[in-house]
Structure 1
Amino acid sequence: MLPTEQRLLRERIILADDHPVFRDGLRRLIQRSAPEAEIAEANDFDELLALARSGPMPAILIVDLIFAGRSIEEALTGLRQEFARSSIVVVSMIEDRAIAERIMARGVNGFISKSLPPHEIITALDAVRDGDLVLRLDASGSSIPERDNEISTLTQRQLEVLRMLSAGKTNKEIAVSLGISPFTVRIHVSALLKSLGVSSRTAAAAKAVAGGLFP
């Protein structure tokens, strides 16, 4: 894995949040880790879209879930489709796991609580850049990978991918079925293999069948 500074050197990051204090703080955290990173800031969702469409494809979109009291949850599906090769990370004060998992099921790469200590937020962002799907809810460090049942750690989207790869479908076929890019499918496959503690698609399928997930 490349050092953080080298990885971010080639990345364009767009940070969208209507809370200037949090936005400025997160920007400073990233800049301290990677002073050469290109970081653009947006105050609302429309500005995020304008920035993302006006330059090189962003590597990461970091976006608040609520702008001016309104949720952008419904818009995340379109954002995922338009920027299929970008990692999307939602940051929020919401601590409800059911809501977080529902957001993850829309195809985003991460859901990170704003209440986390700064070093944990950066660690979570690093994991997303490494291709993981990340859910971090609170300062206790709770996350999807810490659940007892490995299969229950998977998001809805990962379960869809697992079901299709268990049926022998290729990444391209899965991408067409789900309306996402093969690149995004690879991210989901990598994440679910890690969550299940296996190293191959065949082993993941076998574990799913053994766990009674699929016939």
Structure 2
Amino acid sequence: MINLMLVDDHPIVRTGLRALFENYEDISVLSEAGSGEEAVKLASQVPVDVVLCDLRLGDGMNGVATTAALRALPSPPQVLILTTFDKDAEILQCIEAGAAGYLLKDVASQTIIDSVRQAAAGHTVLAPEMAQRVVAGLRKPKIALTSREAEVLKHLATGLSNREIARTLFVSEATVKTHLVHIFDKLQAPTRTAAVQAARNHGLI
């Protein structure tokens, strides 16, 4: 018997998934969680074999952080991400956090069932085209921002001007401009808008 946990911030999604798994005698939905924090707490109290987890979980921990926390437990479950988002950076972050697989919510019901079984058996679950994208992502050089550059980028993404960023971080405008030059160079972005978009594509914000 495969003991399963469902993690999604939408109760109706969890209800639909539970109904799906009720048709299979070898899979039992042992628990449900509406947040990453709740999932980690439940899994630490009553271990499960597989966690089927959404990527976006409201204001708390996302699927990546939840996966990492679950995999760090003494009796770690396998984690399958089930989501509507398929950005390369997000897929790669989940795999690097320890996820056994990444599925999109538009897959056939039988694919979800088979994937849970494969994950429980210790196999990686990725569609061939998705696996190719993960491999390509692993081969790309990592973009490493300093903590201050990351702060500047975060404020840049909210639309703040250089002066407003400087006031927020208690630094001079010249310092902000220097950080922006470094950020643009690392992201190979010619404009503020392009930098924000590139940062999102790389999962930096």
Does TM, normalized by the shorter one, top 0.5? Answer: yes
Q: Does the Cα contact within 8 Å between 2:21 and 2:29 map onto a contact in 1?
A: no
Matching residue of 2:67: 76
| Residues in 2 aligned to 1:90 and 1:132: alpha-carbon distance in whole angstroms | 14
Residues 12 and 120 of structure 1, relative CA distance in 2, 3 Å threshold: closer
Deviation at 1:84, TM superposition (A): 4.9
Query: Structure 1 length as normaliser, TM-score?
Result: 0.54
Q: Cα deviations across residues 80-108 of structure 1 (Å, max 9, x unaligned)?
A: 11155411112111012332122111111
Matched residues in 1 for 2:84 and 2:74: separation? 24
**TM-score normalised to structure 2 length:** 0.57
**Structure 1 contact 100–135 (Cα < 8 Å) conserved:** no
The corresponding residue for 1:67 is: 57
List gaps (5 residues or longer) in structure 2. Answer: 139-205
Report what 2:18 is aligned to: 27
Partner Cα separation in structure 2 for residue 61 and residue 76 of structure 1: 9
Distance in 2, Cα, partners of 1:44 & 1:23: 12
Max radius of gyration: which structure?
2
Residue type at the aligned position of 1:49: V
Aligned 1:37-116 pairs, distance under 5 A = 37-55=28-46, 57-68=47-58, 71-116=62-107
- What are the residue-to-residue correspondences of 1:1-215 with 2, within 5 Å? 9=1, 11-34=2-25, 37-55=28-46, 57-68=47-58, 71-136=62-127, 142-144=129-131, 147=132, 153=135
Is there any run of 5+ residues in structure 1 with no aligned partner, and where?
Answer: 1-8, 157-215
How far apart in 1 are the matches of 2:75 and 2:98?
9
Cα deviations by residue, 1:34-62 (Å, 9 ceiling, x for unpaired): 2772421112222212321222x211122
Between the aligned partners of 2:74 and 2:27, the Cα distance in structure 1 is 23
Question: Is the Cα contact below 8 Å between 2:101 and 2:124 reproduced in 1?
Answer: yes
CA distance in 2, matches of 1:35, 1:72: 25
Give identity over the alignment, percent. Answer: 20
Structure 1 155/97 Cα, relative in aligned 2: closer, same or farther at 3 Å?
A: closer
Aligned residues: 137
**Distance across 2 between alignment mates of 1:83 and 1:90:** 21
Q: CA 1:72–1:130 in structure 2 vs 1: closer, same or farther (change >3 Å)?
A: closer
Indicate the RMSD between aligned Cα atoms, in angstroms. Answer: 2.7
Aligned-partner SS, 1:58? coil
Native 8 Å contact 1:105 1:155 kept in 2 = no
- The CA distance in 1 between the partners of 2:113 and 2:136, in whole Å, is 22
Report the CA distance shift for 1:23/1:101 in structure 2 as closer, same or farther (over 3 A). same
Report the residue type matching 1:99 in the other structure. Answer: E
Question: Measured at CA, do residues 36 and 74 of structure 1 come closer, stay the same or move farther in structure 2, by a change above 3 Å?
Answer: closer
Q: Could you say if the C-alpha distance between residues 58 and 155 of structure 1 is closer, same or farther in structure 2, counting changes exceeding 3 Å?
A: farther
Per-residue deviation at 1:32?
Answer: 0.5
Report the AA paired with residue 54 of structure 2: D
Shift of 1:15: 0.8
Aligned to 1:200: none
